[in-house]
Chains A and B, each alone.
Chain A
Amino acid sequence: MSIDIETARKVAHLARIRVEEDRLPELAENFNAILGFIEQLNEVDVEGVEPMTSVTPQRLKRREDVVTEGDMPERILSNAPDAREGFFAVPKVVE
């Protein structure tokens, strides 16, 4: 499997990272080196092997479905690049 420039462009967009046109060939080349390395996994017989979900056998703990924390909008917004009137502010989303 080889990654072409079109695929690299598509992946960059899916990842929401702007990559300038002139950098796409290098990116595709990097992808191909890494994916070439990963291809080795095809040598392994994984027939009937379950994909790992949790490295230590454990049952997730449960708790009452109640509010445990909250009521701190100022603290939550304190690091926002743009916060107004108790909200995160972003460019217009809907025309």
Chain B
Amino acid sequence: MTELNKLTIADARDAMRKGDLTSAELTDACLDAIEGADALGAFVHNTPDLAREQAKAADARIQAGDAPDMCGIPLGIKDLFCTKGVPSQAASRILEGFTPEYESTVSQNLLDNGTIMLGKLNMDEFAMGSSNETSCYGNAVNPWRRGNEDTALTPGGSSGGSASAVAADLCLGATGTDTGGSIRQPAAFTGITGIKPTYGRCSRWGVVAFASSLDQAGPMTKSVRDAAIMLEAMCGHDAKDSTSADLAVPNFEAMLTGDIKGKKIGIPKEYRMDGMPDEIEALWAKGADMLRDAGAEIVDISLPHTKYALPAYYVIAPAEASSNLARYDGVKYGHRATLEAGDGINDMYEKTRAEGFGSEVQRRVMVGTYVLSAGFYDAYYNRARRVRTLIKKDFDDVFAQGVDAILTPATPSAAFGLGEMKNADPVKMYLNDVFTVTVNLAGLPGIAIPAGLDAQGLPLGLQLIGRPWEEGDLLNIAHEVEARAGFVAKPNKWW
């Protein structure tokens, strides 16, 4: 077998079960691939020794029989997850030198399933961004390029390193997190699959908090089947996260039955945006046709408050961030500014946070501070939370009409060039999440799947939105789109 790192999780699992492949071989193939891929900027803290040790243990466990599906699978972990004894910085200068004394619940769940950690992955600072350009480590780069151009493209964000690593076959899967689209947008930009489960499916414990009422972890993988296998290993009830759902975790892979006859798929008219590229419009129509061919019923629906999702998000997320990020004060962990004689504690806070936070993080913390400040709390924060109630009700209403899932484009464009948005006003960057952010506000599961290439040869994705807690059904529908779209393109290796 050549190029083991290109295997899917499902194929690697089956080969290891049959004794055709060891986790040690698979892990070495990934470590070699990572070593030759510095130009992608995907891995930012490598843990090869730990990975080899874990692979050895996984092989022993597989040989003993009865190992979990994910046993022996090499993964990358987004830098937002706290990993015991391994730097965890959320791509921020302010957490420079921080090595957690504990393991996040999601990464612990994966370790308990026998997975291998290859290292930590690049991301936007504190998961705030849509292009991975706000990272203290520098940009992550998309393995895809436009035609024969050598312009460096964004892998999307915030889980840009995760997307780049999976698309370039540096690992078999990666963890991501999604607050407004941070799994689904980078998955779409790099031609991979990414699912954000229902809010409460994955424990948030040990994941550096951005906006606690919106943050969810999820897998980023090479196929829908892999997403089903990896998601099952990540989720489950956790007493350490009070918003973690105490619900049984189904065998998601077993729910990929291939039968979606009679499923009702909604097409929301409000997602037809002015100025949307024709290619995306066409892809969306093609997706509906594929589902119709598979026996689903396509219905037009309305989600009337869609337009207000992004503005509501840009009140709620910064408000929660300003509160969550108050903990970075130069006292308990990470960076502390060098002080001058006579500097008091406020100087320490202000200098530390000015040095430690990048400009986008500073901007969002200050916007959050403003919308929560006396006199504006009702006008901004409470109004946004009321609008959020209405956005969720839009979805409740269509689900009550019998709709099983909703089909939309994943992003309003294909991947753009790194630096291309540098001089744009911040709001323009925010528009990347226009199709994904509603799902976080309503707490629903959403999945992005690659469905085609644009004229320049860049991947485009479709998004399916499911009912709460129905990830299994959602994955099954996504699996049918995947099968019919037949997306097999891979980026040409230039790195």
Contact = CB atoms under 8 A, between A and B. Distances in A.
Interface of A: 3, 7-8, 11-19, 27, 30-31, 33-35, 37-44, 46, 49-56, 58, 60-61, 63, 72, 75-76, 78-82, 88, 90-93
Interface string B351-369: 1011001000011011111
A33 B427 CA distance: 7
Given A79-B333, A92-B344, A44 B366 contact: no
B390 A46 contact: yes
B137 interface: no
Contacts of A27: 363, 366
A34 B386 CA distance: 19
B423 interface: no
Contacts of B213: 54-55
Interface stretch (B23-31, B93-101, B146-154): B93-101
A15 B319 CA distance: 11
Given A17-B362, A37-B427, A11 B387 contact: no
A14 B369 contact: yes
A49 B332 contact: no
B413 to A, nearest CB: 19
Interface stretch (B126-134, B283-291, B303-311, B480-488): B303-311
Given A31-B370, A61-B242, A37 B314 contact: yes
Contacts of A35: 367, 370
Contacts of A8: 366
A39 B267 CA distance: 28
B104 interface: no
Contacts of B100: 79
Q: Is the interface of A mostly helix, strand, loop or mixed?
A: loop
A50 B365 CA distance: 25
A30 B373 CA distance: 18
B382 to A, nearest CB: 5
A41 B387 contact: yes
A25 B187 CA distance: 37
Given A31-B366, A79-B333, A16 B386 contact: no
A93 to B, nearest CB: 5
- Most B-side CB within 10 Å, residue of A49, A75, A88, A93: A49
Interface in B327-361: 329-336, 339, 343-351, 353-354, 357
B366 A38 contact: no
A51 B386 contact: yes
Nearest to A16: B349
Contact of B389 (A16, A34, A38, A52): A52
Given A30-B426, A41-B308, A88 B386 contact: no
Given A50-B389, A51-B385, A90-B348, A17 B443 contact: no
B350 A34 contact: no
A44 B305 contact: yes
B353 A16 contact: yes
Contact of B346 (A16, A79, A82): A16
B312 interface: yes
Nearest to B316: A52
Nearest to B100: A79
Nearest to A51: B385
